[in-house]
Amino acid sequence: MRAERKRVVIIGGGFGGLYAAKSLGNQLVDVMLVDHKNHHTFQPLLYQVATAALSPGDIASPIRGILRRYANIEVLLGEVVGFDLNGRRVHLNGGADLAYDYLIVAAGATHSYFGHEEWGAFAPGLKTLEDATVIRRRILLAFEDAERQAAEGRNPGPLNFVVLGAGPTGVELAGALIEIARGVLAHDFRHINPSHARVILLEGGPRVLPAYPEDLSRSALEQLRSMGVDVRTGSVVTLVEPGLVRVGNMVIPSTVTLWAAGVAASPLGKMVSSSTDRAGRVPVRPDLSLAEHPEIFVIGDLAAVKDEGGNPLPGLAAVALQEGKATATNILRELRGESRRPFYYRDKGLFATIGRQAAVARFGRIHLTGFVAWVAWLFIHLILLIGFRNRVLVLVNWVWAYFADQRGARLITDIEPIGQDVAAAEKATKTG
């Protein structure tokens, strides 16, 4: 009997891959989950690590630990470098191969600089824990550098934080930045006044949170402005350099520039499908499988899935998670001789948090703003966080941050001499 067990390979330990694996746990299949990181990252809270409210360990869990109780699941740390789609094999770095009967590709998305990859060094994006600690370091070093210049009698000039893109991540970063500057850091320095720092949120489109209902976009804009964020819509960035960004003919000085303007699907998409869309996402059938290869499923941010109205599903944890569960269910159905079922997304709403007590949310037809939306966001994210330990720790951190207005995670690690981050990036661009 054992020899006949089908083998499912899952690529990616994000929400899609992890929930697919969990749903296949202790079932009559052999599962191999491959990721190039050893941990699952709770991406919705990454911006809190980037802005020093949480530590990396608070929002990440080792994938092995999450799946250890399922004896039929193996976890492998490795990088997928290609496929033999007809031979049903996954090629890993180092020359090894994994055979599969079913393949679930849940490799997610990364930043897109729209053909300006050279901007990446000066405007880091936020997709991984490493990204978050780079951003945290740049933000904290900007204040340290200004303090030191002022202490030495020099004029540090204005502190400008420029966030590019006003989707949920951009809005969250901008809100958290102005809160740090005017809150916890306000009394930490002697020569500079951190609350004079400016946070500028640039959005190419006509409104913030473009994927949200218009009334919530308006509310988010008002909440951001009342917190002191300088929001500029209709501002398409044409150049990113160390110390500045350019919008048309206008030069905006920028001490730290952050990228939240675009994502592109994992390059693995193009390796399994020749018909990816503009963002590199893979079109899938209603059961999330590929037309040419029914044994391959693509889920999460890498998949282009439409809802009943024909609108593309957003890149949300809730979408990926449901797609992972549905795919596992379909594989198990097929193994029992039943037919697959099409995937339907059960809408869990949309949230964007802007600051303490500031957020917008949509649940079905209910639109929430301000404090109520913020409490709903807090509650949902605590529930979603994987693992008891993380939940307790994050709660302790949040309660502490909320009442004491302290951010305990403001560590600068892997420090380079001040300014070297940008200097190195500049050099890299010039030489290559």
Residues with a catalytic annotation lie at 172
Asked if residue 37 binds its own copies (CB under 8 A), the reply is yes
Q: Give whole-number Cα distances, 187 to 154, 398, 403, in Å.
A: 21, 20, 16
Any contact of residue 418 with its own copies (CB under 8 A)? yes
> What part of residues 88-107 is at the interface with its own copies (CB under 8 A)?
93-94, 96
Does residue 410 belong to the site contacting its own copies (CB under 8 A)?
Answer: yes
Q: Does 121 bind its own copies (CB under 8 A)?
A: no
Span of 181-189, 198-206, 252-260, 350-358 interacting with its own copies by CB under 8 A:
181-189
Report in angstroms how near the CB of residue 12 gets to its own copies at its nearest. Answer: 15
Q: How far apart are CA 123 and CA 65, in angstroms?
A: 34
Q: Are 235 and 202 in contact, with CB atoms under 8 Å apart?
A: yes
Q: Which residues contact 13 (CB under 8 A, 6 or more apart)?
A: 33, 35, 37, 39, 40, 63, 75
56 binds its own copies (CB under 8 A): yes
Stretch that binds its own copies, among 139-147, 163-171, 226-234, 290-298 (CB under 8 A): 139-147
Query: What is the contact mask toward its own copies in residues 182 to 221, using x (rule: CB under 8 A)?
Result: --x--xxxxx------------------------------
Cα-based angle 224, 226, 229 (whole degrees, multiple of 5): 45
Name the phi and psi angles at 201, rounded to 5.
-110, 115
Q: Following DSSP, what letter does each residue of 348-384 receive, concatenated?
A: --EEEEEETTEEEEEETTEEEEHHHHHHHHHHHHHHH
Judged by CB under 8 A, does residue 2 bind its own copies? no
* The pairing of beta strand 303-304 with beta strand 256-259: unpaired
Return the C-alpha torsion angle 41, 45, 50, 51, nearest 10. Answer: -160
Q: How far is the CB of 14 from its own copies (least distance, A)?
A: 15
- The stretch near its own copies (CB under 8 A) out of 115-123, 137-145, 263-271, 369-377 is 137-145
392 binds its own copies (CB under 8 A): yes
Q: Report the run of H or E that residue 83 belongs to, with start and end.
A: strand 80-84
- State in angstroms the smallest separation of the CB of 196 from its own copies: 17
Q: How far does CA 352 lie from the centroid of its chain?
A: 13
Q: Which residue ranges make up the site for its own copies (CB under 8 A)?
A: 36-39, 55-58, 60-62, 64-65, 68, 74-79, 93-94, 96, 129-130, 133, 140-141, 144-145, 147-148, 151-152, 184, 187-191, 387, 389-390, 392-393, 396-397, 400, 404, 406, 408-415, 417-418
